[in-house]
Amino acid sequence: MRKLVIVGILLVIMTTVGMMTLNHYNTKRIAEEKIVQYIEQQKIPKENIYNETFTWDWENSGHYIKQFNVKGDDSRITYQYSFIAKDKPIVFIPYTSTAFEVKVKYPAPEIK
């Protein structure tokens, strides 16, 4: 009887961890797709993107964040995109190490 309880507890733990892992990777996939769609609306050529990173900010906000620089724009400007949730819009924040309000070659697209 005791072995059956231990096996049951282990199955519950493994199922929970498995579901959490699947949810994480599904949300990550959705975040990547929505950010790419947003960048396509800005009409940024893929070949002009460099120093690209995509991370999950699990310590602070819990958001998925993509950052990169763009050839032809000021090299100090970082384009940052945050995915907050499936039903929320992408947050676009271009910045430099000294300013959070900068003019960029590819501004945020107009929301229709």
Q: Is residue 105 part of a domain?
A: no
Whether 73 is in a domain gets the answer yes
Count how many domains the chain has: 1
* Nearest alpha carbon to residue 63 among 41, 43, 89: 89
Q: Is residue 82 part of a domain?
A: yes
- Report whether pLDDT(109) > 80: yes
Predicted pLDDT of residue 112: 61
Q: What is the pLDDT of residues 40-92, one digit of tens each?
A: 999 999 999 999 999 998 888 889 999 999 999 988 999 999 999 888 999 99
CA angle 19, 52, 18 (to 5 degrees): 5
Helix (H) or strand (E) holding 103: none
With a threshold of 0.85, does the pTM exceed it?
A: no
For residue 104, being part of any structural domain is answered with no
Average pLDDT, the chain: 91
Domain around 15: 2-95
- If one counts every other C-beta atom within 10 angstroms of the C-beta of residue 58, the result is 10
Residue 102 included in any domain: no
Residue 109 lies in a domain: no
Residue 56 in domain: yes
- What's at 4, amino acid-wise? L
Tell whether 111 is covered by a domain: no
